[in-house]
Amino acid sequence: MRLLPPAFLGVVALSVLSPGAGAQIRASEPASFSQTIDGTTMRIDYYRPRTRGRSPLFGHGSVVWEHIWTPGANWATKLTFQKPIEIDGVKVEPGTYSLWIEMDEKDFMPHEFFLEPDTLIYHTMGPPRADDQIRFPLTLESDAPFREVLTWDFEDIRSDGGTLALRWGTHRIAFDVKVEPSMRSTTTQEEAAPALGEFEGSFMNPENGEAGPSFGVRIYHEGDILHADWHDVEPMPQDTHEFFNALDMWLLPGGADGWFIPGESYEPGVLRETWAGYFMEFEIVDGVGQSFLMRDDLDQIIMRGKRVN
């Protein structure tokens, strides 16, 4: 019998083992998602169980879960973020946490959610209560549209946070998440003073510098917010015309006297977004803004105006 060299035997062994060595079909497949809000990125890594016809999922007669359950399967579900956030009003320091739900002993329904600093925990080895855990009461809704596969997602996003929700079957658990703002949206009376009043102006064509449709804008300070209320906008393309007439623009401090960053608000007291790279600059004489320019992210003048009152 001819002996084959060891190196050749190794290649044969790899060719036989390789197809199955890295392949694995799981009942609960791994998944992850991330969401960035105002510079804070939050990521959830989890395994996604399916209902597979099991009903009810919670309560008497339900599938038998552990008394402490990770909202996922296999290894503990993990949440990672690099800046402080708030969950339902509780401040949480940056890091990685495993997520757990504690069941009510009487009805065996989810009643408390907590973050655990230890992240490498198998789903049947729920951690005991400890002082370094961060706990929140939760509300379980049971009339949501059916979801076969357990899903974590941000259902809505604001400039300062959003609603993080767990969905599975007809169940939904939601948490209000807030992030630290990257810029200040409020203005002091002193900062706002040069910009207050009535202005009239025109949109500018940045390619040739010619004036376009005209407008009026009233700038006022209310509740620590500097607002720019557009009115008498000359006919423009329909979508743009309606946009400016409905727009509640906030002017955020821009880091220098008379400089402001524009932002949009469509709900009272809620800033939806800022116009990245845009600035509104006021020419100030004796503490009063006499005129302004609006520049875009290419430093082109797209609006100009002057005080009328």
Q: What tens digit of pLDDT does each residue of 118-145 get?
A: 999 999 899 999 999 999 999 999 999 9
Residue 117 in this model has a pLDDT that exceeds 90: yes
pLDDT band for position 9 (50/70/90)? Answer: very low
Distance CA 297, CA 198 (A): 26
Q: Which of 249, 179, 192, 181 is nearest to 215 (CA)?
A: 249
Distance CA 252, CA 255 (A): 9
Over the stretch 258-297, which tens digit does the pLDDT of each residue have?
999 999 987 777 888 888 889 999 999 999 999 999 999 9
Distance CA 141, CA 253 (A): 41
Q: Is the peptide bond before 213 cis (omega within 30 degrees of 0)?
A: no
Phi-psi region of 169 (alpha: psi -120 to 50; beta: other; left: phi over 0): left
In this structure, the strands spanning 211-222 and 197-204 are antiparallel
| Mean pLDDT, rounded, for 18-41 | 79
| Mean pLDDT, rounded, for 212-234 | 91
Burial of 57 (0-12, 13-18, 19+ CB in 10 A): middle
Residue type, position 31, single letter: A
pLDDT band for position 64 (50/70/90)? Answer: low
pLDDT band for position 252 (50/70/90)? Answer: very high
pLDDT band for position 6 (50/70/90)? Answer: very low
User: Residue 229 corresponds to which tokens in the numbers above?
Assistant: 């209320």
Per-residue confidence (pLDDT) for residue 238, from 0 to 100? 60
Over the stretch 31-56, which tens digit does the pLDDT of each residue have?
999 999 999 999 999 999 999 988 88
Per-residue confidence (pLDDT) for residue 12, from 0 to 100? 38
Per-residue confidence (pLDDT) for residue 16, from 0 to 100? 44
pLDDT band for position 245 (50/70/90)? Answer: confident
CB atoms within 10 A of CB 303: 20
Locus of tokens 């992210």: 297
CB atoms within 10 A of CB 109: 16
Average pLDDT, the chain: 87
Per-residue confidence (pLDDT) for residue 232, from 0 to 100? 79
pLDDT band for position 105 (50/70/90)? Answer: confident
* Percent of the chain scoring above 70 in pLDDT: 88
User: Residue 12 corresponds to which tokens in the numbers above?
Assistant: 């044969």
Over the stretch 81-102, which tens digit does the pLDDT of each residue have?
999 999 999 999 999 999 999 9
User: Which stretch of 19-23, 142-146, 171-175, 294-298 has the lowest confidence by average pLDDT?
Assistant: 19-23
